[in-house]
């Protein structure tokens, strides 16, 4: 299904944003509601469900925090995220130096965290049961941890030298956090530890014994502006302005040396890319100019480029239940990429001859039926 993703001619997403779309998130509970955040500070909530039951339909905006809303972000919204456990709450962060916790039903902020610099990225753990920490990457090299329960930003992780462009909790271990910075470094932290930093990823896979060189390790030879864990949490994918994408073993910190070729990346801020879920092999969907590049994660192969936007793509999000992709761009559009249905088969062709002609080798039956072959 992912290999046959294409721009869907029958599904539109209602156009509400009057400026570029920086961030998208689909709630993990039902996979039905999607948030978007725009360069003008506007946040829109969409229902992806097809109520009309017609093949051709538009995903409607349920509500929005528009320019006239008293609590709207004053500048660009860089990250939106649903509360992982229910749809009653969502979060947004912005270049206006705030992180807001919203009550979905009233569209009022339940809490607001203020920072000294612009906020590039924030993330809540999808698996945490023992903590409610939101990791926040800002213009400051210090990573901030805000506690939803106490409403305070008590915890700080120190180690980066420049602004923190992307943060992501491990989907496997609730206390493990990955952070990416303009200093070329990616750090993994255990937020329970006083020193915090577990390791600094090294693109050259240097000897881990040389503790002194740990500080010199860089993951990219440019700004690291995006990171994404695989769904099992065993690997971490990073992108940088050195036009490289790297896959790391998240437990050893080793660079797996998968070669994805040149992955053009001129973003001055965080780049929101995503990884498929429930596919084999898994795929990475990476904004690439006005297209989205689709790579197989473990072989590094560029499968296809999804074309349809008129301007730079800033974000994409994967809907695992239906293996669909949604992308947001500076062209103010959100596009839906849906697996193309296979062509209907004319009646006069027998099943047998069809199976020999049309089947992609990937779908062929490889089971041996006779005893002696097995």
The CA distances from residue 332 to 17, 53, 137, 304, in Å, are: 6, 27, 25, 23
Question: Given pLDDT bands bounded at 50, 70 and 90, which one contains residue 367?
Answer: low
Judge whether 49 lies within some domain.
Answer: yes
**pLDDT 10s digits, 222-271:** 999 999 999 999 999 999 999 999 999 999 999 999 999 999 998 888 99
**pLDDT 10s digits, 278-305:** 888 899 999 999 999 999 999 999 999 9
Domain count, the chain: 1
**pLDDT 10s digits, 190-208:** 999 878 899 999 999 976 5
Specify the CATH number for the domain of residue 13: 2.130.10.10
Contact status, residue 206 vs residue 213, Cβ threshold 8 Å:
yes
State the DSSP H helix or E strand holding residue 101, giving kind and residue range, or none if neither: strand 98-103
Judge whether 212 lies within some domain.
Answer: yes
Q: Is 155 helix (H, G, I), strand (E, B) or coil?
A: strand
Residue-range definition of the domain harbouring residue 115: 1-337
- Per-residue three-class SS string for 88-155: CEEEEEECCCEEEEEECCCCEEEEEEECCCCEEEEEECCCCCCCCEEEEEECCCCEEEEECCCCEEEE
Judge whether 210 lies within some domain.
Answer: yes
Judge whether 11 lies within some domain.
Answer: yes
In sequence order, the β-bridge partners of residue 46 are 34, 61
Judge whether 37 lies within some domain.
Answer: yes
pLDDT of residue 349: 52
pLDDT of residue 2: 85
Which tokens hold the place of 97?
């130096």
What predicted TM-score, i.e. pTM, was given to this entire model?
Answer: 0.89
Quick check: 171 pLDDT over 50?
A: yes
**Other CB atoms within 10 A of residue 107 CB:** 15
């Amino acid at each position: 299904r992912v290999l046959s993703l294409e721009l869907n001619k029958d599904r539109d997403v209602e156009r509400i944003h009057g400026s570029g779309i920086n961030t998208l998130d689909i709630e993990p509970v039902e996979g039905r509601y999607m948030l978007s955040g725009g360069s003008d500070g506007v946040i829109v909530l969409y229902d992806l469900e097809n109520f009309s039951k017609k093949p051709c339909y538009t995903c409607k905006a349920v509500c929005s925090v528009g320019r006239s809303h008293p609590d709207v972000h004053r500048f660009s919204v860089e990250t939106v995220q649903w509360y992982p456990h229910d749809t009653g709450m969502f979060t947004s962060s912005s270049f206006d130096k705030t992180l807001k916790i919203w009550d979905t039903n009233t569209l009022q902020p339940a809490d607001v965290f203020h920072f000294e610099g612009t906020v590039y990225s924030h993330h809540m753990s999808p698996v945490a049961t023992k903590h409610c920490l939101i990791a926040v990457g800002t213009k400051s090299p210090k990573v901030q941890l805000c506690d939803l329960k106490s409403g305070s930003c008590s915890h700080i992780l120190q180690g980066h030298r420049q602004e923190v462009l992307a943060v992501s909790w491990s989907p496997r271990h609730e206390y493990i956090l990955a952070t990416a910075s303009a200093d070329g470094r990616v750090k993994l932290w255990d937020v329970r530890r006083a020193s915090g930093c577990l390791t600094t990823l090294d693109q050259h896979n240097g000897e881990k014994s040389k503790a002194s060189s740990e500080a010199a390790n860089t993951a990219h030879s440019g700004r690291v502006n995006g990171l994404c864990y695989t769904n099992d949490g065993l690997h971490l994918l990073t992108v940088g302005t050195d036009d490289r994408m790297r896959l790391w073993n998240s437990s050893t910190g080793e660079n797996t040396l998968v070669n994805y070729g040149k992955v053009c990346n001129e973003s001055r801020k965080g780049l929101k890319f995503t990884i498929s879920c429930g596919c084999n092999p898994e795929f990475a969907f990476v904004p690439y100019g006005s297209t989205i590049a689709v790579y197989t994660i473990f072989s590094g192969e560029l499968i296809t480029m999804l074309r349809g936007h008129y301007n730079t793509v800033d974000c994409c999000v994967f809907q695992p239940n239906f293996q669909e992709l949604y992308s947001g761009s500076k062209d103010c559009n959100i596009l839906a990429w849906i697996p193309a249905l296979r062509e209907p088969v004319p009646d006069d062709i027998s099943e047998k001859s069809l199976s020999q002609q049309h089947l992609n080798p990937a779908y062929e039956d490889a089971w041996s039926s006779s005893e002696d072959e097995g």
